[in-house]
């Protein structure tokens, strides 16, 4: 499992893509909804994905969208075409479907737009309709008929057979409806337990939970952000970013050890992955060989491991998926 450790934007997509290329994964499953964008840069191309799993970069990996997920038909079809994954993607028949009316309802809410800082993609309103038992599911939409499957059944069958299944969580731990900075949160739980529930896989089947952090903290929208710096200062450090879905400037703060430690606890993490390490230590940009890590970077990683009490599995050192230093044991 791969989950976000802060407020989203940690680089989960590139971590999932990297693992899909490195490990012998049979099936990769995307959770969440279209309000979370995962960016994948591979082979000189860039994809900004809101539905298709980031593991698509490995053509041998089967792909799925979880029962607890929400899809929007036009967004999904666009991404299927862009990634060329039509023959190996399935959508759980119980996944929810976002309609245009859901986005319209959200855009009419000043509270969501101005106070909470919602992406206004219709996700929250679709979740409301799901709770009210009036939301259309994937099985009710003719355009999705050729993609329907019982993804929970497939995932558990593959696990029974000894195959590796990868679950791609979305957003970040502290955007969780229950464990985040309420009310400045998303409309679902965003911890590992919740993503297992979305897929329909029990907790005893999990081998690894990798929590992804960035070398600094960002968040889009309102809510507390300890140590927040001005956008100008963030730009000076090379930390200025914009949201994948909204295009809004991301708020920025230094790496938060306290939040990171809590994310490890909430997710029962077995390891951490840290992206954008090259933004903190420019000398490692593009580095892939762990034997060439500078001493000061090793010292920082050791500090992170000491505080979090879990090993750091990999470091992202550039935009490309394969720009990474793998610190785990060789497969």
Residues marked active site are found at: 9, 38
How many residues are listed for the chain in this entry? Answer: 331
Residues 250/230, Cβ–Cβ less than 8 Å: no
| Spatial distance between the Cα atoms of 26 and 28, rounded to a whole number of angstroms | 7
Residues 214/8, Cβ–Cβ less than 8 Å: no
Q: How many CB atoms sit inside 10 A of residue 246's CB?
A: 17
Q: Up-side HSE of residue 29: CA atoms within 13 Å toward CB?
A: 31
Burial class (CB in 10 A: 0-12, 13-18, 19+), 59: exposed
Which residues touch 76 (CB under 8 Å, ≥6 apart)?
A: 51, 52, 65, 91, 144
| Spatial distance between the Cα atoms of 205 and 227, rounded to a whole number of angstroms | 38
Helices (H), strands (E): how many in the chain? 11, 16
Residues 187/73, Cβ–Cβ less than 8 Å: no
Estimate to the nearest angstrom the gap between the alpha carbon of 170 and the chain centroid: 3
Strand pairing class (96-97; 164-168): unpaired
Nearest-10 crossing angle of helices 100-107, 123-131: 110
């Amino acid at each position: 499992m791969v989950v976000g450790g802060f407020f989203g934007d940690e680089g989960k997509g590139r971590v999932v893509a990297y693992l899909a290329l490195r490990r012998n994964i049979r099936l990769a499953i995307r959770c969440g909804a279209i309000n979370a964008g995962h960016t994948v840069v591979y082979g000189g191309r860039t994809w900004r994905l809101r539905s298709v799993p980031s593991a698509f970069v490995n053509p041998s990996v089967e792909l799925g969208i979880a029962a607890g997920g929400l899809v929007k038909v036009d967004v999904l079809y666009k991404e299927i075409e862009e990634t060329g994954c039509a023959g190996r993607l399935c959508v759980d028949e119980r996944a929810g479907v976002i309609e245009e009316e859901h986005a319209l309802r959200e855009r009419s809410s000043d509270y969501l737009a101005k106070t909470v800082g919602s992406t206004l993609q219709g996700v929250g309103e679709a979740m409301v309709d799901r709770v009210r038992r009036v939301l259309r599911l994937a099985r009710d939409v003719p355009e999705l008929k050729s993609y329907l499957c019982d993804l929970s059944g497939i995932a558990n069958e593959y696990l029974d057979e000894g195959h590796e299944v990868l679950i791609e969580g979305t957003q970040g731990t502290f955007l969780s409806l229950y464990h985040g900075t309420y009310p400045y949160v998303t409309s679902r739980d965003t911890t590992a337990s919740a993503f297992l529930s979305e897929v329909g896989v029990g907790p005893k089947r999990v081998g690894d939970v990798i929590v992804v952090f960035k070398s600094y903290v960002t968040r889009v929208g309102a809510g507390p952000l300890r140590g927040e710096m001005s956008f100008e200062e963030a730009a000076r450090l090379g930390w200025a970013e914009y949201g994948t879905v909204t295009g809004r400037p991301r708020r920025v703060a230094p790496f938060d050890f306290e939040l990171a430690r809590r994310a490890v606890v909430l997710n029962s993490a077995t390891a951490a992955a840290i992206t954008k390490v090259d933004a903190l230590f420019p000398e490692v940009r593009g580095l892939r060989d762990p034997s060439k890590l500078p001493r000061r970077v090793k010292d920082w990683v050791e500090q992170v491991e000491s505080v979090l009490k879990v090993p750091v599995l990999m470091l992202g050192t550039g935009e490309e998926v394969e720009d990474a230093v793998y610190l785990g044991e060789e497969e």
